[in-house]
A and B are shown apart, each in its own frame.
Chain A
Amino acid sequence: MHSETSPLTASNTPPRLRLREITKRFPGCLANDAVSLDLAPGEIHALLGENGAGKSTLVKILYGVQGADSGVIEWEGRAVDIPNPSAARALGIGMVFQHFSLFETLSVADNVALAMDRGTGRDPALLAEIRRLSTDYGLALDPTRIVHELSVGERQRVEIVRCLMQNPSLIVMDEPTSVLTPSEVEKLFTVLRRLRDEGRTILYISHKLQEIRDLCDRATILRGGKVVASCDPRQETPNSLAALMIGRAFDGPKAGKPVQVGDGVPLLAVQGLSMEADSPFGTSLKNISFTVRAGEIFGIAGVAGNGQNTLLAALSGERTAPRDDWVKFEGHSIGRVGARGRRDMGISFVPEERLGHGSVPDLPLEDNALLSGWGRWGLVRHGLIARGKSRQKAEDVIEAFNVVSTGTGAAARSLSGGNLQKFIIGREIMQEPKLLIAAQPTWGVDAGSAAAIQSALIELARAGAGVVVVSQDLDELFTIADRVAVIFDGALSESRPTHATSAEDVGLLMGGLFEVAP
Chain B
Amino acid sequence: MDLLAPIMISIIAASTPLLFAAIGELVVEKSGVLNLGVEGMMLGGAVIAFIVSVETGNSTLAVVAGAAMGAVMASLFALLTLGLLANQVATGLALTLFGIGLSALLGQGYVGTPLKALPKLSITGLSDIPILGLVLFGQDVLVYLSFLVTGGVAWFLYRTRGGLILRSVGENPQAAHAIGFPVIRIRLFAVLFGGAMAGLGGAYLSLSYTPMWAEEMSAGRGWIALALVVFATWRPGRVVVGAYLFGGLTLAQLHLQGMGSTAIPSQFLNMVPYIATIVVLVLISRDATRIRMNAPASIGKVFHPDG
Q: Is residue B171 within 8 Å, beta carbon to beta carbon, of the partner chain?
A: yes
- Determine how close the nearest CB of chain A comes to the CB of B175; give it in whole angstroms: 4
Q: Are A105 and B165 in contact (CB under 8 A)?
A: no
Task: From B115-123, B239-247, B287-295, give the one contacting chain A.
Answer: B287-295
Task: From B177-185, B189-197, B200-208, B251-259, give the one contacting chain A.
Answer: B177-185
Neighbouring B residues of A113 by C-beta, 8 Å: 161, 164
Chain A, 373-396, contact with B by CB distance < 8 Å: what is the 0/1 string? Answer: 000000000000000000000000
Q: A103-B172, A105-B297 are in contact. Are A114 and B179 (CB under 8 A)?
A: yes
Q: Is residue B168 within 8 Å, beta carbon to beta carbon, of the partner chain?
A: yes
Q: How far is the CA of A103 from the CA of B164 in the complex (A)?
A: 11
Among candidates A84, A89, A103, A118, residue contacting B161 with C-beta atoms closer than 8 Å: A118
Q: Is residue A122 within 8 Å, beta carbon to beta carbon, of the partner chain?
A: yes
Chain A at the B interface: mostly helix, strand, loop or mixed? loop
- Determine how close the nearest CB of chain A comes to the CB of B189; give it in whole angstroms: 17
Q: Are A114 and B178 in contact (CB under 8 A)?
A: no
- Determine how close the nearest CB of chain A comes to the CB of B240; give it in whole angstroms: 22
Neighbouring B residues of A100 by C-beta, 8 Å: 172, 175
Q: Is residue B167 within 8 Å, beta carbon to beta carbon, of the partner chain?
A: yes
Q: How far is the CA of A122 from the CA of B175 in the complex (A)?
A: 21
List 10 extra interface pairs beyond A65-B177, A102-B172, CB under 8 A.
A64-B180, A65-B180, A86-B180, A95-B178, A100-B175, A103-B167, A103-B171, A105-B293, A110-B164, A280-B289
Q: How far is the CA of A121 from the CA of B171 in the complex (A)?
A: 16
6 contacts between A and B (CB under 8 A): A65-B178, A97-B178, A105-B171, A105-B294, A106-B171, A114-B179
Chain B, 263-307, contact with A by CB distance < 8 Å: what is the 0/1 string? Answer: 000000000000000000000000011001110010000000010
Q: Are B171 and A104 in contact (CB under 8 A)?
A: yes
Q: How far is the CA of A87 from the CA of B161 in the complex (A)?
A: 19
Closest to B295 in A: A105
Q: Is residue B87 within 8 Å, beta carbon to beta carbon, of the partner chain?
A: no
Chain A, 125-139, contact with B by CB distance < 8 Å: what is the 0/1 string? Answer: 000000000000000
Q: How far is the CA of A86 from the CA of B292 in the complex (A)?
A: 30
Q: Are A114 and B168 in contact (CB under 8 A)?
A: yes
Q: Is residue A115 within 8 Å, beta carbon to beta carbon, of the partner chain?
A: yes
Neighbouring A residues of B288 by C-beta, 8 Å: 279-280
- Determine how close the nearest CB of chain A comes to the CB of B153; give it in whole angstroms: 16
Number of CB contacts from chain A to chain B under 8 A: 68
Q: Is residue A307 within 8 Å, beta carbon to beta carbon, of the partner chain?
A: no
Q: How far is the CA of A64 from the CA of B172 in the complex (A)?
A: 19
Q: Which of A338-352 contact B (CB under 8 A)?
A: none
Q: Is residue A258 within 8 Å, beta carbon to beta carbon, of the partner chain?
A: no
Neighbouring A residues of B293 by C-beta, 8 Å: 105, 146
Q: Are B180 and A84 in contact (CB under 8 A)?
A: yes
Q: A104-B297, A280-B288 are in contact. Are A114 and B177 (CB under 8 A)?
A: no
Closest to A88 in B: B180
Neighbouring B residues of A104 by C-beta, 8 Å: 171-172, 297
Q: A84-B180, A280-B292 are in contact. Are A97 and B175 (CB under 8 A)?
A: yes
Neighbouring B residues of A101 by C-beta, 8 Å: 172, 174-175, 178-179
Q: How far is the CA of A121 from the CA of B165 in the complex (A)?
A: 11
Q: Is residue A5 within 8 Å, beta carbon to beta carbon, of the partner chain?
A: no
A interface residues (Cβ-Cβ under 8 A, vs B)? 63-66, 84-86, 89, 95, 97, 100-106, 110, 113-115, 118-122, 146, 148, 279-280
Q: Is residue B58 within 8 Å, beta carbon to beta carbon, of the partner chain?
A: no
Neighbouring A residues of B174 by C-beta, 8 Å: 101
Q: How far is the CA of A339 from the CA of B159 in the complex (A)?
A: 47
Q: How far is the CA of A466 from the CA of B178 in the complex (A)?
A: 42
Neighbouring B residues of A115 by C-beta, 8 Å: 179
Neighbouring B residues of A64 by C-beta, 8 Å: 180
Q: Are A120 and B164 in contact (CB under 8 A)?
A: yes
Q: How many B residues touch A, CB cutoff 8 Å? A: 24
Q: Are A85 and B178 in contact (CB under 8 A)?
A: yes
Closest to B290 in A: A280
Q: A85-B180, A114-B165, A146-B293 are in contact. Are A103 and B175 (CB under 8 A)?
A: yes
Q: How far is the CA of A101 from the CA of B289 in the complex (A)?
A: 21
- Determine how close the nearest CB of chain A comes to the CB of B195; give it in whole angstroms: 26
Q: Is residue B60 within 8 Å, beta carbon to beta carbon, of the partner chain?
A: no
Q: How far is the CA of A505 from the CA of B110 in the complex (A)?
A: 83
Q: How far is the CA of A114 from the CA of B175 in the complex (A)?
A: 10
Q: Are A120 and B160 in contact (CB under 8 A)?
A: yes
Q: How far is the CA of A120 from the CA of B41 in the complex (A)?
A: 33
Neighbouring B residues of A121 by C-beta, 8 Å: 164
Q: Which of A63, A84, A97, A114 has the largest number of chain B CB atoms within 10 A?
A: A114
- Determine how close the nearest CB of chain B comes to the CB of A32; give it in whole angstroms: 15
Closest to A119 in B: B161
Q: A146-B293, A280-B288 are in contact. Are A106 and B167 (CB under 8 A)?
A: yes
Neighbouring A residues of B175 by C-beta, 8 Å: 97, 100-103
Q: Are B161 and A105 in contact (CB under 8 A)?
A: no
- Determine how close the nearest CB of chain B comes to the CB of A46; give it in whole angstroms: 22
Closest to A114 in B: B168
Q: How far is the CA of A132 from the CA of B201 in the complex (A)?
A: 49
Q: Are A103 and B168 in contact (CB under 8 A)?
A: yes
Chain B, 147-166, contact with A by CB distance < 8 Å: what is the 0/1 string? Answer: 00000000000011100110
Neighbouring A residues of B171 by C-beta, 8 Å: 103-106
Q: How far is the CA of A280 from the CA of B294 in the complex (A)?
A: 15
Q: Which of A84, A85, A120 has the largest number of chain B CB atoms within 10 A?
A: A120
Neighbouring B residues of A89 by C-beta, 8 Å: 180
Q: How far is the CA of A120 from the CA of B168 in the complex (A)?
A: 12
Among candidates B179, B180, B181, B292, residue contacting A105 with C-beta atoms closer than 8 Å: B292
Q: Are A122 and B159 in contact (CB under 8 A)?
A: yes
- Determine how close the nearest CB of chain A comes to the CB of B160; give it in whole angstroms: 7
Q: How far is the CA of A185 from the CA of B167 in the complex (A)?
A: 32
Q: Which of B77-95 contact A (CB under 8 A)?
A: none
Q: How far is the CA of A148 from the CA of B164 in the complex (A)?
A: 17
Closest to A63 in B: B178
Q: A85-B178, A103-B171, A105-B297 are in contact. Are A114 and B292 (CB under 8 A)?
A: no
The 7 closest A-B pairs by CB, nearest first: A85-B180, A101-B175, A280-B289, A103-B171, A84-B180, A86-B180, A120-B164
Among candidates A86, A95, A97, A106, residue contacting B164 with C-beta atoms closer than 8 Å: A106
Q: How far is the CA of A107 from the CA of B266 in the complex (A)?
A: 50
Neighbouring B residues of A85 by C-beta, 8 Å: 178-180
Q: How far is the CA of A64 from the CA of B288 in the complex (A)?
A: 38
Chain B, 22-50, contact with A by CB distance < 8 Å: what is the 0/1 string? Answer: 00000000000000000000000000000
